[in-house]
Amino acid sequence: MAEEKKKKRRLLKPILLGTVALAAAIQLVPYGRDHTNPPVVAEPQWDSAETRDLAKRACFDCHSNETVWPWYSNVAPVSWLVQHDVDEGREHLNFSEWNRKQKHADDAAEEVREGEMPLAVYLPAHPEARLTDAEKQALIKGLEATLGKKGEPQED
């Protein structure tokens, strides 16, 4: 029994050292550290300041060029996930580049209504993005007024 315990201890040290070495090595991967925010070119014509404020709290980190990059966005592998989410978010809907056609502007209110946005993985680290039911309803109404509803023709 004691011999088995010694074997486990002997294995534990190389496993821990290997884990630490791997964690250090993945920090060298360059993806996930491009934390530049392009300039804000044009925003939508918001229906109200309240809608913009709610969108800024719940949406702008991934859907604008005003991303706030927290400290953990510099630590792989979390940095990879954060960079991917911001890149994807900006590609689909970017409130800072309203001068170009937005792929999913008319989906925004529906995504919030269905609980798809903000992403559940985002909320634990960003409690300010948690909206009360009243704030969620105000954001949905404001996004519909600002961006339109799915199925409505969008102005260019």
Q: How many CB atoms lie within 10 A of CB 146?
A: 20
* pLDDT greater than 90 at residue 27: no
| Mean pLDDT (the chain, rounded) | 88
% of the chain with per-residue pLDDT over 70:
87
* pLDDT greater than 50 at residue 156: no
Give the containing element (helix H, strand E) for 19. helix 2-25
Amino acid making up residue 147: L
Q: Rounded to whole angstroms, how far apart are CA atoms 154 and 113?
A: 20
Mean pLDDT of 100-117: 94
CB distance 37 to 66 below 8 Å: yes
* pLDDT greater than 50 at residue 135: yes
